[in-house]
């Protein structure tokens, strides 16, 4: 069966390189290799479809891209999707140009108008253009921060947000219904249905990002020295143009990582969250005596920042970046002549696995707060729903370094977020407190919140994830690290059960996530990885600030969070009767 599948795929594969790889596997009789490529199908996840390059339905390749695009084209021509045409963009990864060209040709073959970016672009530009051009959909060819051997297909719907159910299932069903890849209609070379995106769209995006900053008498940018890295990605050109126009001209880019390179030669993993990825930009910051470090991931939809402290440079987590920007926006930008919400009610949002701090900040300013499932597509949906209710999203973030400011882009945008961080950093420097001082002030006001996470790989077994979750659900602990557990939220069942026996519904789509809340304000969460045999654990600790010693409280919270995390991991594994790999 595997050999038959491989030969059928190879017969319709338009790429000689992947045809050759398939033939080599067949010639070798490499059953495991064939099974890995032809025995399963990549699925749409929280950020579209991603995978290693290679032949077969379990890899990213030209045949796969044509199948996805044909399914998309079928939906758009048969469903009542608002707008006109599809925006297609791509980054610099291996095969990105070929995948984008195939996407455009298949969509044109379906009779759809296609607007393509002639060169590589950051992901936020495609999300922006999809909405700005009133397109039916947008496609970005990227694997974001995945390893060099990967590529992917990110799909936006009308309005510029990533697809949510049932569209993802419809695309998968459409792909599975394609029996003959050679029968997919293709547009002709020079087709009038395929046009380049007007350069004005990029200029409009830059203007919109610059419009996030209010007019000011202070010398913006002149007082801040920044070390920056695009991590061999596509963000530098757009970010530099925006920062220069905003006045942040003392910007220093890591030279070895400045230009797009699909091999990412200076990092093992091109993700600013990964150990070692920030080493070169931190070294540059030391060398030039910088005030701030900024980093984008390769497609520039994520933002990472590091700040100087009395104990050296500290890389900030997504919760610290997101809540710090939210506090600044709600304190300074929701009233007055240059608001980010206009005349609508401000709305902020984050995910169920992020810190509780944003909810406290929102409550203190009496503004709307939304909590969503993981994945920025759900926060974009919260923005859309809020808009229908007279609200305007002023800040959305996820702990995995994704930030969206003022609904400019209905996806995470590492470029606009970088500008907002730089603006806040300069004002904090001029005020003599710095960003570390702002974090200390927030700890004094709301308590020191620290969220940590860990992944636990498990022994192989079809039911290991379910055993872990079921064991915890059936026998949840009465305390975690000495603090009584007061509630368990079972997102798969859609209910929260309190220690007194009362039950309340969870107003979110079902997902495999369990969250325990403790009496001392701490909480722990566990969910399975969507693609690997592992469980993802999160723990948050909250410590009061005593005697104004915010730094000490933040340190205690970090230690406490790590202790809670390890205790919860041990409890969960014991309940499940499974062991780490």
Report the catalytic residues.
Answer: 144
Nearest CA-CA partner of 522 in 462, 469, 490, 562: 562
- C-alpha distance from residue 157 to each of 20, 493, 499 (Å): 35, 29, 42
Helix (H, G, I), strand (E, B) or coil at 116: strand
Q: Distance between CA 66 and CA 100 in Å, rounded?
A: 10
- In sequence order, which residues have a C-beta less than 8 Å from that of residue 22 and are 6 or more positions away? 6, 9, 10, 13, 37, 55, 56
Side-chain-facing half-sphere of 251: CA atoms under 13 Å: 25
Nearest CA-CA partner of 135 in 183, 87, 180, 98: 87
Q: In a 10 Å sphere around its CB, with 0-12 CB exposed, 13-18 middle and 19+ buried, how is residue 172 labelled?
A: middle
Which tokens hold the place of 130?
A: 């999809």
DSSP 310-321: TTEEEEPPHHHH
Alpha helices, H only, 310-395: 318-332, 357-365, 376-388
* b/e burial code for range 6-32 (CB count within 10 A of at least 16 → b): beebbebbbbeebbebbeebbeeeeee
- C-alpha distance from residue 34 to each of 67, 152, 251, 460 (Å): 20, 21, 49, 20
Phi then psi for residue 226, to 5 deg, are: -120, 135
Q: Distance between CA 464 and CA 458 in Å, rounded?
A: 7
Nearest CA-CA partner of 323 in 220, 435, 161, 414: 435
Question: Hunting for tokens 């007082």 — which residue is that?
Answer: 223
Helix (H, G, I), strand (E, B) or coil at 355: coil
Which tokens hold the place of 147?
A: 């390893």
Q: What is the DSSP letter of 48?
A: B
Q: Distance between CA 120 and CA 101 in Å, rounded?
A: 12
- Cis peptide leading into 300, omega within 30 of 0? no
Task: Give the β-pairing of 194-196 and 226-229.
Answer: unpaired
Other residues' Cβ atoms within 10 Å of the Cβ of residue 408: 21
């Amino acid at each position: 069966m595997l050999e038959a599948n491989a030969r059928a795929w190879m017969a319709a594969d338009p790429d000689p390189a992947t045809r050759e790889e398939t033939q080599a596997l067949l010639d070798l009789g490499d059953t495991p290799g064939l099974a890995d490529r032809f025995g399963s199908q990549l699925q749409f996840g929280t950020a579209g479809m991603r995978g290693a390059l290679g032949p077969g339905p379990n890899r990213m390749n030209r045949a796969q891209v044509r199948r996805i695009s044909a399914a998309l084209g079928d939906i758009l021509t048969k469903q009542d999707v608002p707008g006109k045409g599809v925006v297609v963009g791509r980054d610099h990864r291996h095969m990105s140009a070929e995948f984008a060209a195939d996407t455009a040709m298949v969509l044109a073959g379906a009779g759809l108008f296609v607007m393509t970016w002639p060169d590589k672009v950051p992901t936020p530009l495609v999300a922006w253009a999809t909405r700005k051009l009133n397109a039916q959909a947008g496609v970005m060819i990227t694997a974001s921060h995945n390893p060099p051997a990967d590529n992917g297909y990110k799909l936006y719907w009308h309005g510029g947000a990533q697809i949510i159910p049932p569209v993802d299932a419809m695309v998968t069903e459409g792909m599975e219904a394609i029996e003959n890849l050679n029968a997919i209609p293709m547009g002709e070379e020079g087709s009038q249905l395929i046009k380049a995106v007007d350069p004005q769209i990029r200029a409009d995006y830059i203007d919109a990002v610059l419009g996030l900053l209010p007019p000011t008498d202070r010398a913006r940018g002149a007082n801040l020295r920044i070390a920056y890295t695009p991590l061999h990605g596509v963000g530098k050109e757009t970010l530099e143009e925006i920062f220069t126009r905003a006045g942040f001209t003392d910007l220093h880019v890591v030279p070895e990582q400045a230009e797009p390179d699909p091999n990412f030669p200076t990092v093992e993993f091109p993700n600013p969250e990964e150990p070692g990825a920030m080493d070169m930009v931190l070294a540059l910051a030391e060398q030039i005596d910088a005030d701030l470090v900024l980093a984008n991931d390769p497609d520039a939809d994520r933002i990472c920042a590091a700040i100087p402290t009395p104990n050296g440079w500290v890389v900030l987590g997504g919760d610290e970046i997101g809540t710090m920007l939210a506090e600044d926006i709600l304190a300074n930008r929701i009233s007055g002549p240059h608001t980010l919400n206009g005349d609508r009610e401000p709305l902020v949002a984050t995910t169920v696995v992020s810190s509780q701090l944003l909810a406290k900040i929102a409550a203190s300013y009496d503004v709307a707060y939304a909590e969503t499932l993981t994945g920025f597509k759900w926060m974009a949906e919260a923005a859309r729903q809020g808009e229908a209710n007279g609200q305007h999203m002023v800040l959305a973030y996820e702990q995995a370094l994704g930030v969206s400011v003022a609904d400019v882009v209905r996806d995470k945008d590492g470029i606009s977020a970088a500008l907002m961080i730089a603006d806040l950093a300069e004002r904090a420097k001029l005020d003599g407190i710095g960003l570390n001082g702002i974090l200390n002030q927030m700890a004094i006001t709301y308590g020191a919140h620290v969220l940590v996470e860990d992944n636990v790989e498990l022994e192989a077994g079809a039911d290991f994830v379910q055993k872990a979750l079921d064991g915890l659900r059936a026998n949840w602990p009465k305390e975690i690290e000495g603090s009584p557990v007061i509630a368990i939220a079972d997102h798969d069942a859609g209910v929260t059960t309190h220690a007194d026996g009362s039950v309340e519904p969870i107003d979110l789509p079902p997902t495999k996530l369990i969250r325990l809340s403790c009496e001392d304000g701490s909480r722990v969460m566990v969910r399975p990885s969507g693609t690997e045999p592992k469980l993802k654990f999160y723990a948050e600790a909250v410590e009061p600030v005593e005697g104004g010693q915010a730094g000490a409280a933040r340190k205690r919270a970090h230690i406490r969070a790590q202790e809670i995390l390890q205790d919860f991991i041990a409890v969960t594994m014991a309940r499940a009767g499974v062991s780490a790999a």
